[in-house]
Chains A and B, each alone.
Chain A
Amino acid sequence: MPSLPTSSSYDDFGGPIQDYSMLEDASTQWSANEANPLRASAAAMTNTCFRVSMKFYIDGYQTPQISAFNAVWNTVSSALPTITYTSAGNYVMNLPSTVTDLQGNTQSVNILGGIANVDCNNGNGWFVTIQTVSSTQVNIFVWSAVDGQLEDIGTGPTNTIDLFLR
């Protein structure tokens, strides 16, 4: 049974169970009445957790650099996305088509949508939108509120884009 990034149901996690016998010691035994809601909650959150949270910035050579990356799968280097600079304020991110989950299973990546934030103290006003092109590709658009155009916010790790992908 695959784990995240595949969503699971309560039944996948065993569904409701009952105590096989009366608990003798509540300090060492876990009652079914307490274990059931925990497994149900775990199943629920597989449907609503972000699959990826990450940060990147543009270096002095117009090359995007990933400064932080977290995912619900194994985050070895081969699982990192690539980000390419298309034009000012316009970047394309590609995730690997398959990743290895925490149980060692190979799974397909299926990004549905997301949200982003401009993390900088540049007072001109910026915001970022993202377009989910496919299950593994996301376009990133950074806008200047001054003129409404796509622009780079600046270079270096103090001018980052935060991405949260479901």
Chain B
Amino acid sequence: MSFCFPTRQQYGGDLQDRLPSQNFNNAAATDIPATAINQCRASLVGMTNTTFQAYIKFRFDSNSIVHYECSWDRARSVDPVLIAKVDTGQWLLGLPTTVIDQQGNVQIVQLSAIQCNSGDNNTTHMSFSTGQIVSNNQFMVYTFAKFPFGNATVFVDIFLY
């Protein structure tokens, strides 16, 4: 569920053409039929239900965020942080409890799912990462390696939903 996006009703219901569209779907079009607008809006609303909310590429050996993107207004919101290295191969990260969305509204962060990828160039032993949502705005990242267990990964791609 996308905490940062309005519902379909808030985008308005389906529209009808006030007058029949006469010049559309060509190189010099000046009209957009209501059916096209409706389809575009319905598709966009569908995507709000499936898009991830934030992407973080984290470098654990330097505790730095290499890349960070989010659906809300990043410039007016607080960036994610590393809260603690809990144990070997275990890190706790967090988003702020609230963010400012693209329209300037305060939204409560409510994470629901996470996906992680070990992003290293490691061809000699397997390593992988998993994630766990531990609260509305905090999440754990675990890194594993077969030989040995532990700090197997430097870069982790984190997708938050």
By a CB distance below 8 angstroms, the chain A residues around B5 are 41, 44
Contact stretch, chosen from B50-58, B81-89, B132-140: B50-58
User: Which single member of B6, B18, B103, B120 contacts A131 (CB below 8 Å)?
Assistant: B120
> Please, how many angstroms separate the alpha-carbon atoms of A121 and B51 in the complex?
27
B103 and A113 within 8 A (CB): no
B157 and A114 within 8 A (CB): yes
User: Which single member of A45, A49, A116, A148 contacts B147 (CB below 8 Å)?
Assistant: A148
> Please, how many angstroms separate the alpha-carbon atoms of A130 and B116 in the complex?
11
User: Which single member of B6, B18, B41 contacts A28 (CB below 8 Å)?
Assistant: B18
Flag B91-118 by CB within 8 Å of A: 1 or 0 each.
0000000000111000000000001111
**Is B71's CB within 8 Å of the partner chain A?**
yes
**Is A150's CB within 8 Å of the partner chain B?**
yes
- Looking at chain A's contact residues, the main secondary structure is mixed
**Is B69's CB within 8 Å of the partner chain A?**
yes
> Please, how many angstroms separate the alpha-carbon atoms of A132 and B73 in the complex?
26
Interface magnitude class on chain A: 35 or more
**Is B47's CB within 8 Å of the partner chain A?**
yes
By a CB distance below 8 angstroms, the chain B residues around A7 are 69
A41 and B102 within 8 A (CB): yes
Instruction: Give chain A interface residues in 34-86, CB to chain B under 8 Å.
Output: 34-38, 40-45, 47-50
**Would A129 and B102 be within 8 Å (CB), given that A37-B10, A148-B147, A149-B126 are in contact?**
no
In the A-B complex, the 7 residue pairs with the smallest Cβ-Cβ separation, listed nearest first, are A34-B12, A148-B146, A113-B157, A28-B18, A40-B102, A143-B126, A44-B71
B residues near A (Cβ < 8 Å) are: 4-6, 10-12, 15-18, 34, 37, 41, 44-45, 47-48, 51-55, 57, 67, 69-74, 101-103, 115-123, 125-128, 146-147, 155, 157, 159
A residues near B (Cβ < 8 Å) are: 7, 9-10, 16, 25, 27-31, 34-38, 40-45, 47-50, 90, 112-116, 127, 129-133, 139, 141, 143-145, 148-150, 166
